[in-house]
Structure 1
Amino acid sequence: MKIIEINVHSTACIYGARRFAWSSANFFQKEGFMNINFKKNCKLLSGYQKVIEYDNIFEVLEDLEKKYFFYCNSRPPAWIVIDEDIFEAVGIGNGYCKLMPMSKDPHLYRGQTKDYGLCIPAIYRSSSNDEVEYFINRLRSIEFELILKKHPAVIELNNTKILNCRIQVDFLGLAQHYGLSTDCLDITNNFYIAAFFACCKYDKNADRFIPKTDSKEGIIYYISPIIMGDYNNFDIVGLQPFPRSAEQKAFRYKLNKGDDFAKKSFVQKLIFSQTSEGTDYIYRKFDNGNKLFPYDFLKNKVDEIKKTKIFSKKAFLETYERFRFTKPKVYYQNKLKNKKIVFKENTNLCFNSEETKELDKLWKERRGNFFKNIGFRRVRYPD
């Protein structure tokens, strides 16, 4: 076999890779290599259904493993070699790239411990529909972004090029992954990671995820690669200078107010009954959640941002202008003042000199592994 490295360096490579998976599957079906019994025994390959029900998470995983095996083995004589331990530099235009988690499976996933009917981002879940609360949530994300721009790792990456493209830090994706309310949903290209979020819930008191025991069902959203054609809403989070999004093989999908992700044509629901054996298995698989949520200093900073009532004036102006709020600035200033929110030129949220020194040290320890995780797809040809 000849193996040739290729630099697939454009946004189109994402969609091309997914189309490649479909075309290779069609190739094997035409050539008669597809086992008909195998297909019948896998609900996900036996015909489209909007909702598929399973007895437990093990049955879901078995079906997903079969489907994964199908895609891994559905390759024509020349095919792309994908290393699932690397993140591929993908050009996104304007001289920037993002670092995408690689997978042999073209599908994506989202896990929840319950089917809430609507599947919507956190920023739209408030029953009060309060515009001021919406403004505050946006304000927290912007303050988070302004603070991160002064992080030593972010500064370095903004000046680091891969194939003449700077690495773009996804501030919105990071805000989402570290628990701030945004207009995005987390999705992943790893179904075991989705299973974790379908079987484990966040416990505020313990400040960690624990196995879900008080729910009759769990759900995994099975997402067609067609989602990647939605250029305006789908995006890569992937490898970032902070560990959480990489461990979770992260992507994100943005929704407008009133949109329901579950109703999208590219989404199927895999609903299963929760069992203690299933939740314990998934919980242990990810070291009680520690593999997906490794400790890092950024979490502490986000906790401060969630609690604070003191924001920078720059964050207020950026929030007002970026999200195109229609009422006069003074309207929001007065409303926020009524909620005891204060604006200053500088806040205590910014990294102080000691924190910056410590962050610089931590980044220097991690940066070697960070860059080692960046790679490219290759193409294999038969001899």
Structure 2
Amino acid sequence: MLSFDENGWLFPDPLKNITHDIDSAEIDDLLKLAKEEDYWSAGIRETVKKRLEKDKDDVRLDWIVEDLMIKNTGGTVISMPFGKDIITFNSNRHFFRGENQQYLKSVPSLRRRQEGKSKYECELIKGIALMRSLQFAKFIWKIDVVPYWEAKLSDINVDALAQHYGFDTCLLDLTNDFRTALFFATCKYDYKTDSYRPLTKKDIEATEDSKYGVIFHSPNWVLDYLNGGSFEWHMRHLNDHREEPYSFYSGELDGMAFQIGYQPLMRCHHQSGYIMPMMNATPLQSDNRFEKIRFLQTEELSNRVYEMMDKEKKIFPYEGIGKALDILHTIQRAVIFSEDDLLYAYDYGVVDKKMFPTIDDLRKAITAFQVDGECVSIQKDEINYPISPSVLQEINAEYNGRNLLDVVGNMIHQYPEQRRYREQRCIDIYGKLI
């Protein structure tokens, strides 16, 4: 029977980078362990909630309770090194990633786009990906809940949202829920409908690699920025005196797992989502911080997991943004950008300044570049992706009127300085406190 040892590993000698084959009974063991994690997490939350009620008049809790809350309890506002405040969801003690077949390299989508390209081309591909992500951010800002969320609750993590809604980034998805990972390891994504379906016999028997599903696992203390996984990073950056936040695209945050937290669009927290920057990091197959688990795919298992996750709704909730899927697909293929988009890519993308000393150098290079046979162009004005008032109204109807405190579990703990920052963001966005 599979179980976690005292250090959180499932198998002996985890650092040997061995692939472990498991059967259906051992998958059931892991599903039972997932339920145990739920009970553990709920217990931690209740303990912290009682202490919060007891100490509600204190400005700060004692460090033991504060540490417990930050690490494991939903509703805590945390300032991250990439310059965003998040509201945490409940943490568990493990990370997983599920893939529905064996791959030679598990790396982010941007890295796959750059595969086999020169350094020069890689910089341009990165710049285009960043400009598309920014256009996505500008588009979703039209949805009422997005600016309202930033004004009242927490920052919008553009990179994480872009990653979860189909855009190329340097981020790899992880989850702290085994069931979520098992779903992704046993179901197939349909790009046209932005949805998942169970695997068929044809899917499974397509190649030798597609006969297997793969789960990557690591205890959270190994990777989690909030649970010890950032110790070496903190030691390396102990004497940093910088005003600007770290960029995911600098490589300086590579290999750490960051909780996405609650976001105004629902997919991230429904998937208990974490992101791991991998601008330069080794693929998971070579990363000995992860245990590699393999199992034989079957239609029966795929259908069972699909039903267990309520036909994908538990982790792929129906939400209004799906009504603008054609627009999202258009932005994902965009080749026309604004000067503002270019400036963002140049600054936030940590463009190689030896290769492109000025933004003019990047502009000249990127407009001489082709993507899928199309030339890239930069214009002065913003690029507008029009959405009909009726469709926007339908999207807003999915979110407006919803009690956002219900979404985050009706418990938010933030320090006074974080509260003041949020009030300032509200004034920046709406011109007043609302």
> Which TM class, normalised by the smaller chain length?
0.7 to 0.9
Contact 1:44 1:63 in 2 (8 A): no
Please say which of residues 309-318 and 176-185 is displaced more in the overlay: 309-318
State whether structure 2 residue 198 is matched by structure 1 residue 211: yes
State the identity %: 22
State whether structure 2 residue 339 is matched by structure 1 residue 288: no
The one-character-per-residue Cα deviations of 1:17-73 (angstroms, maximum 9, x if unpaired) are xxxxxxxxxxxxxxxxxxx99779xx9556333435334355224145248648957
CA drift of 1:293 comes to 1.8
Please say which of residues 296-305 and 363-372 is displaced more in the overlay: 363-372
Picking from 90, 107, 116, the partner of 1:120 is 107
- TM-score normalised by L of structure 2: 0.66
How has the CA–CA distance of structure 1 residues 176 and 205 changed in structure 2, closer, same or farther, with 3 Å as cutoff?
closer
CA drift of 1:349 comes to 1.6
Contact 2:110 2:169 in 1 (8 A): yes
Show the counterpart of 2:215.
220
| Greater fraction of residues in strand | 1
The one-character-per-residue Cα deviations of 1:123-181 (angstroms, maximum 9, x if unpaired) are 11134424333332222112112333444222222221xxxxx5121110000001111
Runs of 4+ in 1 over 6 A off after TM superposition: 36-40, 73-77
Contact 1:121 1:255 in 2 (8 A): yes
CA drift of 1:314 comes to 1.4
Please say which of residues 269-278 and 180-189 is displaced more in the overlay: 269-278
Contact 2:126 2:349 in 1 (8 A): no
Show the counterpart of 1:29.
none
CA drift of 1:370 comes to 4.7
State whether structure 2 residue 336 is matched by structure 1 residue 310: yes
Secondary structure in 2 aligned to 1:53? Answer: strand
CA drift of 1:253 comes to 0.5
Say how many residue pairs are matched.
Answer: 332
Show the counterpart of 2:21.
54
The one-character-per-residue Cα deviations of 1:345-382 (angstroms, maximum 9, x if unpaired) are 132326566555554443323344654524369xxxxx
CA drift of 1:199 comes to 0.6
State whether structure 2 residue 267 is matched by structure 1 residue 239: no
Whole-angstrom distance in 2 between the partners of 1:135 and 1:247? 30
Instruction: Structure 2 unaligned segments of length 5 or more: list them.
Output: 50-68, 205-209, 234-252, 414-434
Contact 1:219 1:272 in 2 (8 A): yes
Picking from 149, 171, 177, the partner of 1:190 is 177
Instruction: Structure 1 unaligned segments of length 5 or more: list them.
Output: 1-35, 161-165, 378-383
Task: Please list, as runs of the form range in 1=range in 2, the aligned pairs for 1:326-337 lying within 5 A after superposition.
Answer: 326-327=355-356, 328=361, 329-335=363-369
Contact 1:199 1:282 in 2 (8 A): yes
Secondary structure in 2 aligned to 1:114? Answer: coil
CA drift of 1:117 comes to 2.5
How has the CA–CA distance of structure 1 residues 295 and 47 changed in structure 2, closer, same or farther, with 3 Å as cutoff?
same
Contact 1:51 1:271 in 2 (8 A): no
Contact 2:9 2:219 in 1 (8 A): no
The one-character-per-residue Cα deviations of 1:221-246 (angstroms, maximum 9, x if unpaired) are 11221201236342221321111112
Show the counterpart of 2:160.
173
Contact 1:311 1:347 in 2 (8 A): yes
Show the counterpart of 2:128.
136
Whole-angstrom distance in 1 between the partners of 2:19 and 2:350? 41
How has the CA–CA distance of structure 1 residues 264 and 340 changed in structure 2, closer, same or farther, with 3 Å as cutoff?
same
Please say which of residues 127-136 and 93-102 is displaced more in the overlay: 93-102
How has the CA–CA distance of structure 1 residues 255 and 376 changed in structure 2, closer, same or farther, with 3 Å as cutoff?
same
Amino acid in the other structure paired with 2:13: Y
Which structure has more RCO (C-alpha within 8 Å, separation ≥ 6)? 1
CA RMSD across the alignment: 3.7
How has the CA–CA distance of structure 1 residues 175 and 374 changed in structure 2, closer, same or farther, with 3 Å as cutoff?
farther
Show the counterpart of 2:291.
268
Picking from 87, 102, 111, the partner of 1:99 is 87
Picking from 384, 391, 402, the partner of 1:348 is 384
Contact 1:87 1:99 in 2 (8 A): yes
Contact 1:235 1:251 in 2 (8 A): yes
